[in-house]
Amino acid sequence: MNPTILVVDDEADFLSTYRRLLARPGYRIVAAGTVQEALAALHTESPALVVSDLRLPDGDGLEIVRAARALPTPPPVVVITGFSSDKSRKEAASAGVAAYMTKPFSVPALVQLANELLPAR
């Protein structure tokens, strides 16, 4: 069975892009547009990796990071933001992110990062 990647972004274009980029290597993609959808998916989908926007309409992507880190088998979480700052980078690191990327990001870098963070198949 292919590993599941949970992608979280409130912009449909980004969700579509993540789905297209990350599905190529054979990963199963589950999409969420809000913190609440992502929190539910963390428990029902058991993702092997989470890729989340930092700013979401119903909260902060760091809530997703903290919830993922609290799971019995915590998946690595990559935070992607269009509003990078030293403060948000430090907060993300404190929350336990595996990586912090800034929009626009390098497509090959995201795919390579996902390959590195996912367990060997």
In a domain, 64, yes or no: yes
In a domain, 121, yes or no: no
6-59 per-position pLDDT tens digit: 999 999 998 998 888 888 777 899 999 999 999 999 999 999 999 999 999 999
Structural contact between residues 36 and 45, judged by C-beta atoms closer than 8 angstroms: no
Q: Determine the structural domain holding residue 19 and report its residue range.
A: 4-116
Q: Give me the number of domains the chain comprises.
A: 1
In a domain, 22, yes or no: yes
Q: Which two tokens stand for residue 103?
A: 């929009």
Average pLDDT rounded to a whole number, residues 94-108: 91
Q: What is the pTM of this model?
A: 0.93
- Say if residue 47 is exposed, middle or buried (CB neighbours under 10 Å; 0-12, 13-18, 19+): buried
Using alpha carbons only, how large is the chain's radius of gyration in Å? 13
Give whole-number Cα distances, 108 to 37, 50, 98, in Å.
27, 17, 17
Residues pairing with 49 in the sheet: 5
> How far, in Å, CA of 105 to CA of 94, rounded?
22
In a domain, 37, yes or no: yes
In a domain, 45, yes or no: yes
CATH of the domain at 79: 3.40.50.2300
> How far, in Å, CA of 58 to CA of 76, rounded?
22
- Average pLDDT, whole number, for the chain? 91
